[in-house]
Amino acid sequence: MYSMIARWAFLILLVPYAGWLVFGYEYHFLDNVNLLIHEAGHVVFAIFGQTAHFLGGTLLQLLFPAAFVISFLQRDQRYEACIVGLWLCESLMYTGEYMADAQVQRLPLLGGHIHDWHWLLVI
């Protein structure tokens, strides 16, 4: 009983967060998690060549939460899959903002030198 109440309470708290993501998204705490996973992706995919190195950050950043969603769905844990699905959606928004910055390159870069999506789309 208390578990169900806690689930509904948490879900109700996520509704304004999801609304904020859709209508007022700006860089925030979850993006720091995405950034760490993104940077790890560069290291993981670097062995497959330069293009995979640049694309690998975004790939791992999206594959990581997607793997959790799939895992939860395989175990028929739909509630948990929805919660992590929100993370995946947020990560897609983060990726979209990064891709949109490819030409103007205004976002600060962790490495500071090469913008992944500028290299992939513009150069």
27 vs 78: which has the higher pLDDT: 78
Supply the mean pLDDT for the chain: 90
59 contacts 51 by C-beta, under 8 angstroms = no
Q: What is the pTM for the complete model shown?
A: 0.84
pLDDT in tens, 38-91: 999 999 999 999 999 999 999 999 999 999 999 999 999 999 999 999 999 999
Mean pLDDT for 20-41 is 85
Say what the pLDDT of residue 6 is.
Answer: 86
Would you give the DSSP letter of residue 47? G
Please determine, for residue 112, whether its predicted confidence score (pLDDT) is greater than 70.
no
- Contact criterion met (CB below 8 Å) for 49 and 109: no
